[in-house]
Amino acid sequence: MRRKALVFAEESDEGRRLDIYLAGRFTYHSRTEWQNLVEDGKIQVNGKPVRASRKLRKGDRIEYDTADITEPEVDASFQIVFSDDYIIAVDKSGNLPCHPAGIFFRNTLWWLLTEKYGKVYFVNRIDRETSGMVLVARSPEIAAKMSDARYGISKKYIAFVHGDFQGECHAKGYLCPDPGSKVRKKRRFCSGKPEGVEDAEFAETMFSLASSCGGISAIDTELVTGRLHQIRATLCSLGFPLVGDKIYGLDESIYIRFVENRMTDDDRKLLMIGRQALHSAQIGFRHPVSGENLVLKAELPEDMRNLLLARR
């Protein structure tokens, strides 16, 4: 089956080389590997073959044929926590993308669920390296209905961080780009709205200590708002970087080496775990048809459990 992936360049991508853009956004290949794919004609911009050095403009249509490209291996395991004629609640692994993007198509939760249930529509999504609860609708009408605030979706996570977290923290502030970072997509959390930053987003998160051992703290986390990188960026800015996080962990330069396929054994040792130690532990909502209030939970996965056990 012939497949194509499609993305559009945003204003922040203006002037960037195509190969740098691809390597930064889709980290499954190194910059050299992306250059080779461009030279092989696998990538087109606005329907035409281009050079890897092509400078992007806002709105450019970037398309590439994934039919002959081997997708990276993932952990395709997942469990159905709840299912009826309207919604499906899934507990996914910590190395499985939710939705097709970049080089991932078949190796996604969307594809696996589509093969089993037919077309599905995500109500919420979590990062590839985040494990746990994902809510899926079985029709676009139910998906649209679930986006209504009246259905009261609540989300709770467990995060493992470096440092001795104390008590509770109600973090209210703003997320915006981090000008001091070499990683373009990295964000920072500020308690007040930064002056002159138009794209700052209000973010609110509740944190409370669950347990700690050997310099690692397990934190119960509840989202009040839902923003890109909200938990990871907020914890990092509060001084508690997420264990295993290549961007918001102890050393952001690991992410750059990861993108360029030159991570070291020391990098892996510093990360401590093969993915970011963040788990979507619970999701609550009012059923869109029956009106029943549901609270669905996903047990902490083995890799995160072992992380704490190893510190004792």
Q: Report the CATH number at residue 179.
A: 3.30.2350.10
Round to whole Å and give the CA distance between 72 and 108.
11
Express each pLDDT in 237-253 by its tens digit. Answer: 999 999 999 999 999 99
User: 60 with 46: CB under 8 angstroms?
Assistant: yes
Q: How far is CA 161 from the centre of its chain?
A: 17
**Within this chain, do residues 13 and 149 fall inside the same structural domain, yes or no?**
no
Structure tokens at 176: 């915006």
**Within this chain, do residues 123 and 228 fall inside the same structural domain, yes or no?**
yes
Domain count, the chain: 2
φ, ψ of residue 224 to 5 degrees: the values are -95, -40
Structure tokens at 279: 């788990």
Structure tokens at 230: 């909200």
The whole-model pTM stands at 0.80
CATH number at residue 9: 3.10.290.10
pLDDT reported for residue 1: 45
Higher pLDDT: 101 or 41? It is 41
Q: How many CA atoms lie within 13 A of 202 on its CB side?
A: 3
φ, ψ of residue 45 to 5 degrees: the values are -120, 120
**Within this chain, do residues 20 and 87 fall inside the same structural domain, yes or no?**
no
**Within this chain, do residues 113 and 158 fall inside the same structural domain, yes or no?**
yes
Q: How far is CA 129 from the centre of its chain?
A: 6
The number of beta carbons lying within 10 Å of the beta carbon of residue 41 is: 11
| Contacts with 296 (C-beta within 8 Å, 6 or more apart), sequence order | 81, 82, 89, 133, 282, 283, 284
**Within this chain, do residues 217 and 274 fall inside the same structural domain, yes or no?**
yes
The region of weakest confidence among 14-28, 32-46, 152-166, 257-271 is 14-28
User: 187 with 308: CB under 8 angstroms?
Assistant: no
Q: Hey, which residues does 48 pair with through a beta bridge?
A: 45
Express each pLDDT in 136-186 by its tens digit. Answer: 999 999 999 998 777 789 999 999 999 999 999 999 999 999 989 999 889
| DSSP tag of 70 | P
**Within this chain, do residues 308 and 285 fall inside the same structural domain, yes or no?**
yes
**Within this chain, do residues 106 and 184 fall inside the same structural domain, yes or no?**
yes
| Segments forming the whole domain that contains residue 58 | 4-65
**Within this chain, do residues 201 and 293 fall inside the same structural domain, yes or no?**
yes
Mutual angle of helices 31-39 and 18-25, in 10-degree steps: 130
Q: Which of 38, 65, 92 is the last residue in one of the domains?
A: 65
The number of beta carbons lying within 10 Å of the beta carbon of residue 269 is: 8
pLDDT reported for residue 99: 84
